[in-house]
Amino acid sequence: MSNELTFLVAFATVYGASEAIKHIQSDARRKEHRSRKNNLIVRCLKSCEYSSILEGRRVVLSGDKLYIDTGTHHAQDFGHPFAGYYLAYPDSNASGLVSTICDEPPIMNWIYVDRWSYEMKFGNRSWADDNFPIPWDCSRQDRRLTFGGWEGFLAVKEGDFWALYFDLDEDHLKSKVAEGTPVLEIELIRVEMRMPKPQPPPPEDKEKADEKADEKAEVAADANGPNSANDANGADAANGANGANGANDANGGVNGHSGPDKADGSTYQKGAYATPPEEPLESPAVD
Asked if 118 and 167 touch (Cβ cutoff 8 Å), the reply is yes
Same domain (yes/no): 153, 213: no
In this prediction, residue 3 has a pLDDT band, given cuts at 50, 70 and 90, of low
The pTM for the full model equals 0.62
Same domain (yes/no): 20, 4: yes
Same domain (yes/no): 96, 75: yes
Number of domains present in the structure of the chain: 3
Check residues 34 and 1 and name the one with the higher pLDDT: 34
Same domain (yes/no): 100, 218: no
Has residue 57 been placed in a domain? yes
User: How do residues 104-157 score in pLDDT, each as one tens digit?
Assistant: 888 999 999 999 999 999 999 999 999 999 999 999 888 899 999 999 999 999
Same domain (yes/no): 171, 70: yes
Has residue 271 been placed in a domain? no
Same domain (yes/no): 90, 153: yes
Has residue 130 been placed in a domain? yes
Same domain (yes/no): 30, 50: no
pLDDT of residue 105: 87
Asked if 173 and 118 touch (Cβ cutoff 8 Å), the reply is yes
Has residue 79 been placed in a domain? yes
pLDDT of residue 33: 56
pLDDT of residue 179: 92
Dihedral sign for Cα 63, 39, 108, 201, please: negative
User: How do residues 41-65 score in pLDDT, each as one tens digit?
Assistant: 999 999 899 999 999 999 999 999 9
Same domain (yes/no): 63, 158: yes
Asked if 177 and 159 touch (Cβ cutoff 8 Å), the reply is no
Parent domain of 242 = 204-251
Integer Cα distance of 109 and 107 in angstroms: 7
